[in-house]
A and B are shown apart, each in its own frame.
Chain A
Amino acid sequence: MDKTQNNKAWFLVLPVLVVVAFSAIIPLMTVVNYSVNDTFGDNQFFWAGLEWFEEMVTSDRLHGALGRQILFSSIILAIEVPLGIYIALNMPKKGFWASVCLVLMALPLLIPFNVVGTIWQIFGRVDIGLLGHYLAELGVDYNYTNDPIDAWVTVIVMDVWHWTSLVALLCYAGLQSIPEAYYQAAKVDQASRWSVFRYIELPKMAGVLLIAVLLRFMDSFMIYTEPFVVTGGGPGNATTFLSIDLVKMAVGQFDLGPAAAFSIMYFLVILLVSWVFYTVMTNLDKEEGR
């Protein structure tokens, strides 16, 4: 039987194409265009080839920002993941207090990024901030505006405060799906608390934990608003992460060519790391199943 061919059906795909083109393809191509041209505004472009890419790859400034970025992501993952698991394990399983905990945990997640930044910016100020003032009263020499270590601590504590809930809530959901019989069997088998965690809770949480780590990695690697509001990337360049540096370059200095090359590499790095990460974790999962 012949199938009816009606090429007009292609028109049905058109709306999607248009939306995707305007929301993703065209903006991305514009960036690509900027990255291989030199421009002085006025829509005049001069072909630059891979010059901007070469400049960026060898730039000390970008290396510095990338280094700080990797350090930042590593630190917050190293704190938030274990802390989130610990909180999830210790949250009440049901009843009134479980609901109270869930609401409290969800609160930081609902606060807009720049508000979080503002809260901590004020909270940490030595003159009027609750934290900064009392630390000074206690004799701690704390000032995030001129001490790089203090600035880092502030930014990291802020991120932990903002996002640990996400890890905790995901893990909590994973824990809730474990049938009671597993814990009962563990009691009968005389398993230690550590064994229960290692052989029952952790395997059941592995799936959601993977998602939590992936989300926290991507988000922290792209972090912009909160450190920008608190420290503005300072003191000096101490808390200038990739996004902040990128914005400085593109908007502050109007170096559109290098900024575009930077953007593309930044995007590819995130894509690559996330992909490697995901593949490794899912493969581990499969091998265990064999």
Chain B
Amino acid sequence: MAQITLKNLAHSYLANPRTESDFALKEMDHVWQDGGAYALLGSSGCGKTTLLNIISGLLRPSQGRVLFGDRDVTDAETAARNIAQVFQFPVVYDTMTVRDNLAFPLRNRGMDAAYIKARVGQIAAMIGMESILDRKARGLTADAKQKISLGRGMVREDVNAILFDEPLTVIDPHMKWELRTQLKQLHREFGHTMIYVTHDQTEALTFADKVVVMYDGRVVQMGTPEDLFETPAHTFVGYFIGSPGMNLLPAEIHGNTAHLQGAAVPLGAAYGPITGRTQIGIRPEYAVLTAGNGLPITIKRVEDVGRHRIIRGDVAGSTVNVIAPEGMAVGADLTHVQFTPDRINVYADDWRVAPLGGAA
């Protein structure tokens, strides 16, 4: 087990990348703590899998170094890195039995038979496959196969890290929850570093201690689920995390007031002069409909999602969503929307601006 450090890392699939847009992964420096459970979250094509394959050694980065602890493994083969990886689609050895599938990584490393037997038994119990250990893997359902893949990923105890590349895509929702819980439990028990790639925010937030959000080849934020929710570092994080995502409104910032379309919105803190395109961001959870205070809003639609209602509205040409509690009556008298001042974040060119005085 080891801490994973990425130094000046960048990757391009082109032989001679020139501009920044040629890079699938933009230059980054990150440290992944030993024993952490990380979720790598982002939309399709943002470089999540590329980053994962660089860590596991399936891909050599165009520049920068990868360190496991103090050891530079940039040029080391996957096998030498002692990493486990589970892929998006089930990879099982069809002609082997379930037992042999699970034992395969251990046998290849020459572990002794008694240990293999015990360990395979343990893993089989965990993934609930004890009864079919002696069946051929061929002919099993896709989620059974994926469970075998997961089992094979977890069978080695001494791995540096376990990487999951959207492993639950093919598994049905009920099973998904169960397996995720097991992974979490396993993490607590053995303390492996785990990196879990997903584009599903629920999956990321429930699995990980730290969520790493990627956007367009960059890591835009690395933080706890709470950080991502309260203080998104980039408008993409605000939009991607939460349902619905953060409301963004173009505004001009003067001290502790935001001016938009002639109206003034009080902010929780004061800001210095800001250059670039400025926006304020507010979560729908922190917006309230009122009968006269705040900004005028035109309500377009009300969606009842069970626990609460989502009000889709329009404020001075920008879409604003508000979450209203279930019992609240949404009448024609509610014509304005008010934001909780200290929950408002300020963005310049999509990146969050810290307020003066160091308050978060």
Contacts and interface: CB of A to CB of B under 8 A. Distances in A.
Interface in B30-79: 53, 56-58, 77-79
Interface stretch (A127-135, A184-192, A218-226): A184-192
A115 B56 CA distance: 54
Contact of A199 (B57, B96, B152): B96
A203 interface: yes
A288 B93 CA distance: 12
Contacts of B139: 289-290
Contact of B84 (A188, A199, A288): A188
A13 interface: no
Contact of A189 (B53, B94, B105, B135): B105
Q: Enumerate the 6 nearest inter-chain pairs by beta-carbon distance, A residue then B residue, closest first.
A: A185-B91, A187-B78, A190-B108, A199-B93, A289-B139, A189-B105
Interface in A230-289: 288-289
A185 B87 contact: yes
Interface centre among A182, A187, A192 (most CB of B within 10 A): A187
A192 B95 CA distance: 16
A200 interface: yes
A187 B136 contact: no
Interface string A201-236: 011000000000000000000000000000000000
A73 B56 CA distance: 48
5 contacts: A184-B53, A184-B78, A184-B87, A185-B85, A190-B79
Interface size on B, as a range, is 20 to 34
B104 interface: yes
Interface centre among B56, B77, B85, B89 (most CB of A within 10 A): B85
Nearest to B56: A188
Given A199-B95, A288-B138, A290-B139, A188 B85 contact: yes
A289 B95 CA distance: 8
B319 interface: no
B95 A179 contact: no
B88 interface: yes
Contacts of B108: 189-192, 195
A181 interface: yes
A181 B90 CA distance: 9
A77 B96 CA distance: 27
Interface residues of A, number: 19
B58 A184 contact: yes
Nearest to A204: B94
Interface of B: 53, 56-58, 77-79, 83-85, 87-89, 91, 93-96, 104-105, 108-109, 135-136, 138-139, 149, 152
Contacts of B152: 185, 189
A200 B136 contact: no
A22 B140 CA distance: 49
A-side interface mostly = helix
B105 A190 contact: yes
B87 A187 contact: no
Contacts of B89: 179, 181
Contacts of B96: 199
B136 A289 contact: yes
Contacts of B109: 190
Contact of B88 (A181, A182, A202, A290): A181
B138 A181 contact: no
Given A184-B58, A187-B77, A288 B95 contact: yes
Nearest to A285: B138
A206 to B, nearest CB: 9
Nearest to B149: A185
Contacts of A290: 135-136, 139
Contacts of A288: 94-95, 136, 138
A263 B336 CA distance: 96
A288 B96 CA distance: 9
B85 A184 contact: yes
A181 B165 CA distance: 11
Interface centre among B84, B108, B135, B149 (most CB of A within 10 A): B108
A289 B108 CA distance: 25
Contacts of A187: 57-58, 77-79
Contacts of A189: 104-105, 108, 152
A189 B56 CA distance: 12
Nearest to B87: A181
A24 to B, nearest CB: 39
Nearest to A289: B139
Given A181-B91, A187-B79, 12 more contacts: A179-B91, A181-B89, A184-B53, A185-B87, A187-B78, A188-B56, A188-B58, A189-B104, A195-B104, A199-B95, A199-B96, A200-B93
B104 A191 contact: yes
Contacts of A191: 104, 108
A191 B92 CA distance: 13
Contacts of B104: 189, 191, 195, 199
A188 B149 CA distance: 12
A188 B83 contact: yes
B138 A289 contact: yes
Nearest to B108: A190
B166 to A, nearest CB: 12
Interface in A136-187: 179, 181-182, 184-185, 187
Interface centre among A182, A188, A195, A288 (most CB of B within 10 A): A188
Nearest to A200: B93
Nearest to B104: A189
B167 to A, nearest CB: 11
Nearest to B83: A188
Contacts of B53: 184
Contact of A182 (B79, B91, B138): B91
